[in-house]
Amino acid sequence: MVMVYSVGHISGAHLNPAVTLAFATCGRFPWRQVPAYAAAQVTGSTAASLTLRLLFGSEPEHFFGTVPSGSDVQSLVLEFIITFYLMFVISGVATDNRAIGELAGLAVGATVLLNVLFAGPISGASMNPARTIGPAMVAGRYTGIWVYIVGPITGAVAGAWAYNLIRFTNKPLREITRTGSFLRSKVGRALQL
């Protein structure tokens, strides 16, 4: 949440290559910038991991990456689901001008928190390939790393496209509510009650 509010106005708070890629597949981010963003995201994760290693050492119990605690398939499915939810929320609050943009950081942060509480004990709740790749490279520990690349990327792309399917329009809410069809549908629903 803090990072969304801190850098959202600078970079769109693209801290996750799965999110960046998902936005690109929907035409909401330029493809030509995806490699540079992904490189910066993995570099940032690696630098953070190196810092933690310098501070806390390299003992196996100090591994700060994500590895499946159950089977790879369980973690893959969970990573897909929680990243789908995360991307769906991000798409709603960050790309739809009908949403209350000032609450984007709170909505995204709350989604991450809930996802961690739900999936953390099983998959580590990465939701971010860079968040897994950085620590894995620093520690040389690649157990189940494919889970944290495939799950978040496919989940994010599916979440972005799912939101696009229900978006219907790019018009602001005030324009939609001025149309006669919107008013008729509201009146129709009210009469049905």
Q: What is the pLDDT of residue 170?
A: 57
* Domain ranges, residue 84: 2-192
Residue 181 has pLDDT above 70, yes or no: no
Overall average pLDDT of the 165-182 stretch: 58
Render pLDDT for 13-38 as a digit per residue (tens, 0 to 9): 788 999 999 999 999 999 999 999 99
Number of domains in the chain: 1
Q: Is the pLDDT of residue 57 over 70?
A: yes
Condensed to tens digits (0 to 9), the pLDDT of residues 95-138 reads 777 777 778 888 888 999 999 999 999 999 999 999 999 999 99
- What's the CATH code of the domain at 68? 1.20.1080.10
Lowest mean pLDDT among 91-95, 138-142, 180-184: 180-184
| pLDDT at 2 exceeding the cut of 60 | yes
**Average pLDDT for the chain:** 85
**Residue pointed to by tokens 């953390």:** 120
Indicate if the pLDDT at residue 172 is higher than 90.
no
Residue 176's pLDDT is 46
pLDDT tier, 39 (very low <50, low <70, confident <90, very high otherwise): very high
The model carries a pTM of: 0.82
